[in-house]
Structure 1
Amino acid sequence: MKWIGRQQSGNVEDRRGMGGKLAVGGGIGGIIIALLSFFFGGGDLSDITSTQNQPPASQETDAEQDSRAQFVGVVLQDTEDIWNKIFQEQLNRDYQEPKLVLFSGTDQSGCGTATAASGPFYCPLDEKVYIDLSFYDELQSRFEAPGDFAMAYVIAHEVGHHIQQQLGIAEKVRQMQQGGSKSQANDLSVRLELQADFLAGVWAHHAQKSKQILESGDVEEALNAASAVGDDRIQQRSQGYVVPDAFTHGTSQQRMLWFKKGFQSGDIDQGDTFNESL
């Protein structure tokens, strides 16, 4: 991805090194994060909690960390440029830009305690995206999804959840989940996640069209990342078997399909995952 030297967002809150503390009482905040996390859960909390005491895959230098932070700022700026334009020109409304919090180790969000193990997530209660930069290494080593555009996809996916929050979609889904069975709630969660993948693809389409940000292999990096965090891949890796009824994010194939659909069309009207057969 072409990003060096480009403008960074002013909506990044850099809390790295502030030494956030875990909440007293057994880390209930971390459990809340795991339940609300829209990217990393995969329908199986054991896949998250089993890694909470593991060290990062590698130790980056300050320069490497700062470079990654700058990259995140550039991607966030790109999402702001694209979604401000789409909201104004197609939806006739203002886009309320989210904040993005960079933290290291632990931090406090509106949804509870954030940890590196919870992965990147969007908190609807404070409308902020939370990222520990060690997730770069997780993508490469644990998920075998290297590349800067793989991380850009992750950021764009979380911003996609902010779009859903802005448009009232996320709240409607939460209300419907409360009135249905567990299997119905899981199905709604999958559809919400796939729509966020679609919105990430829409962002990539328009960012490429207006800024020519992509380099050779970038789209493949994003698709590889989408595949790597499919429920079936995560469950197979963590427990050795797959339980489709427990899916909350979609299969690898579904996640790639919806990102690709958004990227190829660039049309937000084609992203109604709630009324299409999966």
Structure 2
Amino acid sequence: MTQLRTIKALIPGQHTSDGAGVKLKRLIGTQALPDLDPFLLLDEFSSDSPDDYLAGFPDHPHRGFETVTYMLNGRMRHRDNKGNEGLLQSGDVQWMTAGSGLIHSEMPEQEAGLMRGFQLWVNLPRAEKMKAPRYQDIASDRIPLVTDPQGNSVKVIAGRYLEATGPVDGVSLDPLYLDVELVAGGELTLAVPLGHNALVNVFEGQVDIAGQGVAKGQMAILKNGDSLQVSASQGGRFLLIAGQPLLEPVVRYGPFVMNSSEEIGQAIQDYQAGRF
């Protein structure tokens, strides 16, 4: 029997800045919602003012988790201290496994125009926190787009929707990452793995979940279930993100996320000693 997901809580998000002053809205990683296991942070950036994003994210370290960057509009150059480099353009995704540690930068490659997208931090299980770093740079044309006769569409970044499978592979926690757009009067039923923690982040228009409206700028944390029914009287667009919870201790210090304070201390020592 289908178990529909309903809304557990609505999160408004918090306007802040990060990196060298990039203005963004933080939905996970705030005092109100420190994390949603296995998700540690969700940031949304959206501005057509260069002053809001040009300073970018200069060199900074990571250890113990993954970062997922989804560019809706704009161009962002990635470089790290191991010689890796890539360019994220409109519609592209990067799924980076920081693992044992690296130092990287994420800098805009535009001086004008709209820069819009999301960055999600996904925790790694204890057994994988010190694995070798890995990148999946995924061009937009590799991401399946499923459109129904009504005109509703689903981009499948990770996980499955109907017969489409996202291009992200070899990552833990069986993630689901969908970009869903509903036309005015549109409705969809989306399968969500039972037992996964899940969220809906609306970034255009408004959608209804089990009769409750979720407006642009709001994030809905969902109760457990195996499917989600959504509709939009005037149209809307949202991310549906879900992942298997780790149920492990989380100890974080800035860009380091481990299972104990001793491991955080070791991460700081390794970084300061140039061992990343």
Structures share fold, TM-score greater than 0.5? no
Q: Which structure has more helix as a fraction of its residues?
A: 1
Q: Which has the higher contact order (CA 8 A, sep 6+)?
A: 1
TM-score (norm 1): 0.24
Larger Rg: 2
